[in-house]
Structure 1
Amino acid sequence: MVSRSSALPSGDGLPSFGSPYAPKPRDVRVSDELADLSDLAWSSLDQLGRALRVPDGDLDSTLVAVLDMAIGMVEGCEAAGLNLFEKGRFVPQVVRGAAPPRLDALQQETGEGPCVDASRDQVTVDIDDMTTESRWPEFTRLAIELSVGSMLCLPLWINDRRLGSLSLYGSTPQAFTAPAAHQTAQLLSTHAALALADVQRSEQLRRAVANRDLIGQAKGILMERHRITADAAFEMLVEISQRVNRKVVAIAEMIATTGQVPS
């Protein structure tokens, strides 16, 4: 079996400067590793920065752009999938190619597989030859059936947030062993994590504004109908929410949309 994995230090947080795991400061001159990067990897920096700035920054289009760039830029990559890790759950999001949907569904059902490990444990999982892989027997059997010869799964994280993983698929063994392929994939995963974090932050802000507006509209209806203050109207929303076991914003949306108060 030829397979590799590398992990970040264990624990809830990721290494920060000042911790024993923090990287030591290095000379600002170009390192030997960077000097060895291919022309493709260098040009990837510019392409990534532009491609992942999707208009309106919606999540779906950002994830699709990540996969399109992976297939177009990473040597040996013929299919790709992107998975999020939300509240301790492995959640497949978008895919390119025929194999990822079935393999993602199996991993979600069993809770085991390289994409699950990369997402949950924030490790890079490199499977050079699927025919000699033994860590996930059920996954391996299906992957071979689907003509997957090798895989590269990279974690997506920023600061202490575990966002998920990016999974690349090749039809032949050792599809990702070339240095340029690994380096380009690492660049892509880093930019993808930053883009994802930015999109998620924007979506949270949009939801917060929309929820505030809905609650404001519902409060206005209750204030006019019952001749009560804004504080009393909000307390009424909370009381209804607790009584019917639904979120305040769901109650507010119902009132703002229909004018009806749940009984």
Structure 2
Amino acid sequence: MSADEGPFRETDGLAAAEPEVSLQRLVLENPSIKGFLGELAILASARLSAPGNTIHSGVTVLRRKKPEAVASSDAAAKALDELQNGFGEGPCLTALRHKTTLLVPDLAAETRWGPYVRTAMQHGVYSILAVPLDLAGDAESVLNLYSGRSNGFSSQDIALVESFAGQAASSLRLILRITQLSDARNDLAAAMQSRTVIDVAVGAIMAENRCDRDTAFNILTRASSTRNVKLRDVAAMVIASISGEERITTHFEE
């Protein structure tokens, strides 16, 4: 299959210059990791594409030791990432595992990853560049770039992508930190909310049974154990039975 028959058939205007988009703005506009990686793939494709040489870009992340295509500049890039992941080998996965940039200038002359290389060429791929994203141990990811031409990446392209990947990794580490802090905050809020509901229920039991706090708490925990229901849910049912409210809220909820 020729390059014109595969997903790399050139489209007029695809490689036209696009506005410069800062990675910092991508972080602000895409607080989710998946959203940022999607914009990153599109930006990488736009920066490297040239008339007659459209570059398709994807991002693969290693999750529980299994590679997963999480973002792409277009459907063709996603399909090619998933194809390589299906084979379990290829230049992008090798770059990911060895944490080093890997260029395959001409798939027709490549002797490694035989089954994958043959299939990739049938899909119109003739050169591949893979650059890992250094996330400082937080995760493992690689930026995958596909060209429908042999020698589709120059030495200047490689230097540009490595610099770009370094900046992107810094931004991605920031998003990971933000996500971790947000998760911690949400966990704390949930714990405080549960504690408040339980405390209110204990107070209601104390008033109803004219007992001390320890006795009231034991009544609540026994009910939780006997019914095999979470303590917070039992507490909410106690409050609902007294107040008549079906949904119990606290000032910790936003």
- Bin for the TM-score computed over the shorter chain: 0.5 to 0.7
Q: Confirm or deny that 1:197 pairs with 2:173.
A: yes
- For the 8 Å contact 1:99–1:146, the answer to whether it is kept is no
Match of 2:41 in 1: 67
The match for 1:209 among 165, 174, 185 is 185
Corresponding letter in the other structure for 2:194:
A
Corresponding letter in the other structure for 1:213:
A
The match for 2:164 among 164, 188, 198 is 188
- For the 8 Å contact 2:56–2:77, the answer to whether it is kept is yes
Corresponding letter in the other structure for 1:68:
I
- For the 8 Å contact 1:131–1:149, the answer to whether it is kept is yes
Corresponding letter in the other structure for 1:214:
A
Q: Confirm or deny that 1:223 pairs with 2:199.
A: yes
Structure 2: unaligned runs, 5 residues or longer: 1-19, 204-212, 239-254
- For the 8 Å contact 2:135–2:172, the answer to whether it is kept is no
Task: Report the CA distance between 1:77 and its aligned residue.
Answer: 5.0
Task: Name the count of aligned residue pairs.
Answer: 199
Match of 2:113 in 1: 136
The match for 2:63 among 77, 80, 86 is 86
Corresponding letter in the other structure for 2:120:
A
**CA distance in 1 between partners of 2:76 and 2:197 (Å):** 52
Calculate the TM-score normalised by the size of structure 1. 0.64
Cα deviation code 1:121-142 (max 9, x no counterpart): 2121111111222221222122
The match for 2:80 among 96, 103, 109 is 103
Q: Confirm or deny that 1:172 pairs with 2:149.
A: yes
Corresponding letter in the other structure for 2:167:
H
Amino-acid identity (%): 22
Match of 1:155 in 2: 132
* Cα 1:149/1:255, change in 2 over 3 Å: farther
* Cα 1:50/1:214, change in 2 over 3 Å: closer
**CA distance in 1 between partners of 2:178 and 2:74 (Å):** 29
Q: Confirm or deny that 1:120 pairs with 2:97.
A: yes
- For the 8 Å contact 1:77–1:175, the answer to whether it is kept is no
- For the 8 Å contact 2:68–2:82, the answer to whether it is kept is no
Q: What is the root-mean-square deviation of aligned Cα atoms in Å?
A: 3.2
- For the 8 Å contact 1:71–1:79, the answer to whether it is kept is yes
Cα deviation code 1:12-70 (max 9, x no counterpart): xxxxxxxxxxxxxxxxxxxxxxxxxxxxxxxxxx8545554432532233212211221
Task: Report the CA distance between 1:211 and its aligned residue.
Answer: 1.4
Corresponding letter in the other structure for 2:38:
V
Task: Report the CA distance between 1:260 and its aligned residue.
Answer: 6.5
Corresponding letter in the other structure for 2:176:
Q
Calculate the TM-score normalised by the size of structure 2. 0.66
Match of 2:210 in 1: none
**CA distance in 2 between partners of 1:48 and 1:162 (Å):** 23
User: Helix, strand or coil: the match of 2:70?
Assistant: strand
- For the 8 Å contact 1:85–1:120, the answer to whether it is kept is no
**CA distance in 1 between partners of 2:179 and 2:167 (Å):** 18
**CA distance in 2 between partners of 1:159 and 1:167 (Å):** 19
Task: Report the CA distance between 1:198 and its aligned residue.
Answer: 0.7
**CA distance in 2 between partners of 1:259 and 1:147 (Å):** 60
**CA distance in 2 between partners of 1:184 and 1:65 (Å):** 17
* Cα 1:95/1:255, change in 2 over 3 Å: farther
Whose Rg is larger?
Answer: 2
**CA distance in 1 between partners of 2:148 and 2:159 (Å):** 20
Structure 1: unaligned runs, 5 residues or longer: 1-45, 245-250
